[in-house]
Chain A
Amino acid sequence: MRYARRVHELSVCQALLTQVADIAAGRSGAVVERITIEMGPLCGLEPALLASAFAIARTGGCAAQAELVIESTAVTVDCTACGARSLTASNRLVCAACGGFRTRIVAGDELRLRRVELQMGQLLRESAAN
């Protein structure tokens, strides 16, 4: 099978590394130093599992030495009845003000690549100095 997937955290890591490789490509000699992602509790992934999957998935690529920084977001909903904004638990997405259950998630379901930090290799540094 072309895509090896065991837990879905591993498939997401592979997708992440593909995006990072696209960014690093074209900057020859660039080494990925740090990758920052945003994750909400409602994204369906476990941060700890993602971190351990990342340690396996990064091997041999341009991000082999990269650090993964996970920024967690809090579950936040807007009430469509009274308009109040509430911080809630993942499984209790109701309005804290009026108790209404017709709410819209405004934060907490993110799964996004936020930032890639590259370190330029020796060659690039020399050309930048010239």
Chain B
Amino acid sequence: MCQTCGCALTPGKAGAQGERADSRGAVIDVLQNLLAANDQVAMHNRAHFDEHGVLVINLMSSPGAGKTALLEATIVALKARYHIAVIEGDLETDNDAARIRAHGVPAIQITTGTACHLDAHQVHRALHELPLAGLDLLFIENVGNLVCPASFDLGQHHNVTLLSVTEGDDKPAKYPVIFRASDLVVLSKADLLDVLQDFDPARAAAALRALGRDTPMIHTAARRTPVIGPWLDWLEQALKAWRPAPQGARSRIAAAVGA
């Protein structure tokens, strides 16, 4: 399947663990994750990223929370220091990819049609159009949706979920799976907090904490005069913490997935 990297990537086989059979039939106990095939490709993608020293962030949110706007402001702030690329998941258009390209960084568009999420196979195909060599930071902008993207590992190193203050502050309680999977929650459009009295950041933080994780939550405002300092600090920390990944660990991962 993977012609660029020459890997022998095949969907995972179900591993039968026990079988009882007679002349009428057989009962086979399996116990295999239903997303094993996706997870295997995700692991393969991650091995590619690690091999090339690229930190990969999966950005998720509901539609219109400001993922692309945050990326634009991030690119403006960081492109002098880091080589950045973006994989854009979108239902129909390549409008978001065009917005990213206008800032002079490569953007690969995955048009998902009516599908509600990106999966590891789609990202893997996109990687064949995107040279990873020399990149520092790759953002995957997932399809705007707080339900489906949570179930599919893409090979990213971190999940970041945006919660815009124009939404309800109880979103973490309504969508526990995606918020629990997040390494960072970004309260976007925070410059509107003054006029949107209904959104209480403390309530959002409490709902997030009730999911059993000490997930950090930061505020951003990406439009007009962008205020995204805490987000840039988090990214810098993530880059610093991740960079010195030992070569040995990378080769072990690569060997494990046959890359």
The SS class assigned to the A binding surface is mixed
CB pair A114–B26 under 8 Å, yes or no, is no
Question: How many angstroms from the CA of A44 to the CA of B174 in the assembled complex?
Answer: 12
Please give, as numbers and ranges, the residues of chain B lying within 8 Å of A22 by CB-CB distance.
Answer: 13-14
Evaluate contact between A113 and B151: CB separation under 8 angstroms.
no
- Given pairs A5-B112, A15-B34, A105-B212, 8 additional interface contacts (CB within 8 A): A7-B116, A30-B25, A42-B180, A44-B148, A91-B172, A101-B211, A115-B29, A118-B26
The contact string, 1 if C-beta is below 8 Å from chain A, for chain B 178-222, is 101000000000000000000000000001011111100000000
Q: Given A113-B14, A120-B26, A128-B23: A91 and B211 within 8 A (CB)?
A: yes
Q: Which residues of A contact B116 (CB under 8 A)?
A: 5-8
A12 at the interface (CB under 8 A from B): yes
Among A43, A112, A125, which residue has its beta carbon within 8 angstroms of that of B32? A112
Q: Of all chain A residues, which has the CB nearest B29?
A: A115
Interface size on A, residues (CB 8 A): 47
Residues of A within 8 Å of B174, CB to CB, are 91
B31: CB under 8 A from chain A? Answer: yes
How distant is the Cα of A20 from the Cα of B34 in the complex, in angstroms?
Answer: 10
Residues of A within 8 Å of B29, CB to CB, are: 114-115
Q: What are 15 A-B pairs with beta-carbon distances under 8 A?
A: A5-B117, A8-B116, A8-B147, A15-B35, A19-B32, A19-B36, A20-B14, A23-B14, A42-B176, A44-B147, A91-B211, A92-B173, A111-B151, A120-B26, A125-B24
